[in-house]
Structure 1
């Protein structure tokens, strides 16, 4: 393992430093959250300029290996969890469980409310129609991960307000207890920044990046039975989509939605 800058090498100094730091993180078995030496210390230790250090760290940061927090320092980054929620009609509970992880929910709201215009449009019901609203702060391995607000028409699952959703999958309840089979859906992802209130919930700084996942699920009768908006921490999540190209299939235009 390279431990110093080889000044006779044709490889740029920043690339060599990057490889040295990767090797050190592996050999020292550093874990997410462990602190790395500061810029000044790296300059002195390896005899390189601050420009070299900054470029090496910038590449490591862009690759998700480290995270730099202003005023605090440089740390080994928490790995972003790949999620397949965009390409398949699964919930976060099933997605995390499939990877052997543990998810629990802090249920902040579970009650019947009249649908506002936006919810009514998503669920294809008239405004004021009774819907069950479920607001959950969801933890993966006891770390706040996503804030989800879900709406379900009351008649779809009338006893849902009496269920304990802290450790239970909503989709499993809908299908197993209320006989609602989800057959298709529509999901979209957009980038946003955390408001002060959302930042407090997710344990991030105000203005931190979040991924907003919006979804409408349709049942066997062809009517919407559930909609949600989920605010995922941008530093913990990434969405993966598998693509295929079919010969002769008509092209689908890129959809750009503006408010």
Structure 2
């Protein structure tokens, strides 16, 4: 990380902490000029930091008026940052938690064999979870993990820490990238009950295949996210 990036990250860390611990929704942040003087940084550094805070959903910038703390219910989630639900919720000042409602070793069907590129061991672990933020159901997910990678995986491991943390700590599996797609959908009766919603309520349906450093598929997950709790932003770069 070069000096400019370091200064920007320091400013991001400071403002994030202020927003999450001392400020309220709709509070106004110091002006760009005030931040420049306070931290002795350039306007470019300040704007880069505010851009990232806006993409994370912590602030809203209004032309000619300033930068304001975003209401939690209006927080925007950058799709590129939804790689970790736990980290995204923490960044928004919420406490992430999971409630596992199913943990079972099963035989993979043709779709799972293809998604996870299974060769010899055709068993997978199915993990169904309700993803919560500060106790409120936000998302329901069905994850399928290859048994040949996570042999002897237990429910207790996933209840003690996050899934990705378990991958890294207990199996030395380093996550590199994920291929994810999303589309608008509606909640069926079963999932709506799990998320304290009405059947037929709108949601975002996401499908993800996660890869490790060796290019090996280590997770296939289907998730249904409440539409009233997630507003998404995608930033396009013109090259």
Settle same-fold status: TM greater than 0.5: yes
> Pairwise mapping of residues 43-54 of structure 1 onto structure 2 (< 5 A)?
none
Distance change in 2, residues 1:179/1:78 (3 Å) = closer
Runs of 4+ in 1 over 4 A off after TM superposition: none
> Pairwise mapping of residues 227-242 of structure 1 onto structure 2 (< 5 A)?
227-242=220-235
Question: Structure 2: how far apart are the matches of 1:125 and 1:89?
Answer: 26
How many residue pairs get aligned? The number is: 170
1:192 aligns with 2:155: no
1:92 aligns with 2:85: yes
Distance change in 2, residues 1:150/1:89 (3 Å) = same
Q: Is the 8 A contact 1:103 1:167 kept in 2?
A: no
Question: Structure 2: how far apart are the matches of 1:202 and 1:227?
Answer: 21
DSSP-derived class of the 1:177 partner: helix
Question: Structure 2: how far apart are the matches of 1:238 and 1:231?
Answer: 14
Q: Which residue of 2 aligns with 1:203?
A: 196
Q: Is the 8 A contact 1:183 1:219 kept in 2?
A: yes
Q: Which residue of 2 aligns with 1:151?
A: 144
Q: CA deviation at 1:88?
A: 4.3
Out of 82, 104, 113, the residue aligned to residue 76 of structure 2 is 82
Q: CA deviation at 1:162?
A: 4.2
Q: TM-score, normalised by structure 2?
A: 0.65
Instruction: Report the more deviating stretch, 171-180 or 89-98.
Output: 89-98
Q: TM-score, normalised by structure 1?
A: 0.60
Q: CA deviation at 1:239?
A: 2.3
Q: Is the 8 A contact 2:185 2:204 kept in 1?
A: yes
Q: Deviations over 1:186-235 (max 9, x none)?
A: 11111111111111111111110010111001112212111101100111
Q: Is the 8 A contact 2:98 2:159 kept in 1?
A: yes
Question: Structure 1: how far apart are the matches of 2:189 and 2:82?
Answer: 31
CA RMSD of aligned residues (A): 2.3
Question: Structure 1: how far apart are the matches of 2:160 and 2:232?
Answer: 23
Q: Deviations over 1:123-151 (max 9, x none)?
A: 11159810111100111111111001111
DSSP-derived class of the 1:163 partner: helix
